[in-house]
A and B are shown apart, each in its own frame.
Chain A
Amino acid sequence: MNAVVLTPAMVGQVIISGILAGALYAMVALGLALIFGVMRVINVAHGPLLMLGAYGTYFLWQATGVNPYYTLPVTMAALFLVGVLLQRTLVFRVVDAPELSSLLLTFGISIALVNLAQLAFTSDLRAVEFLTASFRVGPFALSKSRLVAFLVAAVITAGAFLFLQRSRLGKAIRATSQSREVALVCGIDVPRIHLLTFGLASALAAAGGTLIAVIVAIQPDMGQVWTFKSFLVIVLGGAGNYPGALVGGLLLGLVEQLASLFLTTQLSEAVAYVLLVLVLLVRPTGLLGGRQT
């Protein structure tokens, strides 16, 4: 019945979609990778933090009518503070604890955030109607909102890498993730680095939220799927390996889209997880290897 013949143009279209989505995955997952790399904490609340960012954009846009992309610095700054606060009050307690404790704690934070959001914002579906059309380039349709998301995510991700690579603080973060003891001996204020890391990671999630709010409708439990995707990305790329998040993100975006073209939408998620199992079997440390930075 499905007499659809796949043409190169269609494959091109989904590759474009995959790359556009992949950059966003990479940016959001980089936050998860940072926290894991520095503290060995798997932050299950990463997606719900992204959800808060999305709501921030929605409400600012609703209240002021500004271009929703202008809310980016505000949501990032706000979520940076939320992240710092979470680290300062809760997460620091589990940094040295077994990984199960940190999973339980962040899982609890995640549930709390989603339910608070349901109380505060109700579970109404909301959408930021902005940039809904697309550019046509030859046979391809380029969604404007996804294109902007791609560009902004690429810039932010590049900025984050530059920061980690070049700046003193970035170097301190990488040093801490390589060896906390040595970092401590070298005079790095490790608890402060932890605060900064969690703040930065939350800001990255917030940026994801802002960009996604313009693409899909938002609701309080939109975040969990982003936790899973980010987790998938960092395992694919190599947990704690920051460039790995980039590779993993693009790979996940492409695999999802190609699978939904060649197979079905239903199978595309399964394919992503099969890929995860394969990577774990063949290269348990991820495609780029584990946590060297």
Chain B
Amino acid sequence: MTLKTLGCLTLVAAVAAGSVPAAAQGPIRIGASLSLTGTYAEPGRFQSEGYKLCEKDLNAKGGLLGRKVEFVVYDDQSRPDTGIRVYEKLITEDKVDAVMGPYSSAISEAVANVTEKYRKVMVAPLAATTSIFKKGRRYIFMIVSPAEVYLEGLVDIAARRGYKTIAIVNEDTLFPKASAQGTEELARKAGLKVVFKEAYPKGNQDFSGLLTKLKAANPDVVAAGTYFDDAVALARQMKELDVNPKMVGVTVGGDIPKFQDMLKQTAEYIYGSSQWEPTLPYPGAREFHDAYEKEFKHEPSYHAAAGYSGCMVYAEAVKKAGGLDSEKVREALLGLKLRTMFGDFQVDKDGAQVAHKAVLLQWQEGKRVVVWPDELANGKPRFPR
């Protein structure tokens, strides 16, 4: 008690003196749960590395509010229930100073109830489903563009090319479902007919029945609301079952370098939605890519960039607020307008992202090529045969 009082007094004295010496206080500890194992491990670990690089870069520039930044990360095994326990523990037992979001919409949705309960601001860099931010929550903030428009580019290219039919499949969880619904609406507006639609359970590995039906529906375009594992399995099994639509697009997975490493020729022509590419003309995008590659010995995916950017956005808001107080940081985030290496950041009054833009890329000769939108594209879409 006396120690705390003493520390408090020191702080007051230091603030009065106009500067907080870094040594006077411990680090700012930021807690997060991430999917380091399980179905979402692939993107989850990219996000984790994004946080790590942000921590390093912040500390290299003297930390935040003059204090060092330290991430406390636990594995949630890609499970919402574990995520809930992790945030409870982070906030009540570890008593972290701040939190950052987990991977995936489903887990963000689950843990948002915990962070709201304790009035913790949570920038959730990889929660793309709009509904999460439209439930009257006060302290959660969105970084990426919404799930509903992940495959806007796919639909747009298809419509411009005069294709008529589309099949939509998705994992039956929050984000893929929202992106499937969004894609369906976009497709209808663009005049495409939805000839087949089916969801499959999380962790599904056998798509024979689904693809047999899809093949019979003979769509020009296949849009899939996926994560990484299922995107890989779908691509492989489409080839096995000789399903050859003119365009195939996936929401998550197609952007990850390993997609091509694993699938080789099978990845060719497949479209992937991406929230970020190193080739995009954002300030510091290329530098981030190079620093990341140097640090972790592999290329970053958009999940890594979103994690990094989300952490930087949070740091910016803390600086603007001049402290970690939830209300003040919240106000700062609501008023923030930024262009980072990840693109634009601006949220509406609910914390939902309104400025960031997604792109569509395609695997061409083993390389990711941005093919949509035109103003950001560095290549043209290619079509099989």
Footprint of B on A, CB under 8 Å?
A: 1-7, 10, 13-14, 17, 21, 118, 123-127, 129, 132-134, 136, 141, 143-146, 216-217, 219-221, 225, 256-261, 264-266, 268-269
- The tally of CB-CB contacts under 8 A between chains A and B is 127
Q: Are B209 and A14 interface neighbours, CB within 8 A?
A: yes
Q: Are A2 and B196 interface neighbours, CB within 8 A?
A: yes
Q: Are A134 and B204 interface neighbours, CB within 8 A?
A: no
- Within 8 Å by CB of B216, from A10, A134, A143, lies A10
Known: A2-B196, A3-B217, A127-B262. A260 touches B208 (CB 8 A): yes
Name the B residues within 8 Å of A144 (CB-CB).
240
Interchain CA distance A269-B206 in the complex, whole Å: 11
Q: Which 9 A-B pairs have the closest CB atoms?
A: A260-B209, A143-B240, A265-B200, A17-B208, A141-B242, A123-B37, A123-B41, A127-B262, A261-B209
Stretch from B146-154, B226-234, B332-340 forming part of the interface with A: B226-234
Nearest neighbor of B217 in chain A, beta-carbon distance:
A4
Kindly name the residue among A136, A225, A257, A265 whose own CB sees the greatest number of chain B CB atoms within 10 A.
A265
Name the A residues within 8 Å of B229 (CB-CB).
125, 217, 219
Interchain CA distance A14-B214 in the complex, whole Å: 13
Shortest Cβ distance from residue B216 to the other chain A in the assembled complex, whole angstroms: 5
Q: B164 on the interface (CB 8 Å rule)?
A: no
Residue interface bits B22-56, CB-to-A below 8 A is 1, else 0? 00000000000000111001100100000000000
Name the A residues within 8 Å of B209 (CB-CB).
14, 17, 256-261, 265, 268
Q: Are B262 and A125 interface neighbours, CB within 8 A?
A: yes
Q: Are A134 and B241 interface neighbours, CB within 8 A?
A: yes
Q: B74 on the interface (CB 8 Å rule)?
A: no
- 25 of the cross-chain contacts (CB-CB < 8 Å) are A6-B213, A7-B216, A14-B212, A17-B212, A124-B258, A125-B228, A125-B258, A127-B236, A129-B263, A129-B266, A133-B239, A141-B240, A143-B240, A217-B232, A217-B233, A219-B41, A219-B229, A257-B209, A258-B209, A261-B212, A264-B200, A265-B199, A265-B201, A265-B207, A266-B200
Footprint of A on B, CB under 8 Å?
A: 36-38, 41-42, 45, 172, 194-201, 203-210, 212-213, 216-217, 228-229, 232-233, 236-237, 239-242, 258, 262-266
Knowing that A123-B41, A127-B236 touch, tell me 18 more A-B residue pairs with CB under 8 angstroms: A2-B217, A3-B195, A4-B196, A4-B213, A7-B216, A17-B212, A21-B206, A123-B45, A125-B41, A125-B229, A127-B232, A127-B262, A216-B233, A216-B236, A265-B200, A265-B206, A266-B172, A266-B199
Name the A residues within 8 Å of B242 (CB-CB).
134, 136, 141
Shortest Cβ distance from residue A254 to the other chain B in the assembled complex, whole angstroms: 11
Shortest Cβ distance from residue B234 to the other chain A in the assembled complex, whole angstroms: 11
Name the A residues within 8 Å of B258 (CB-CB).
124-125
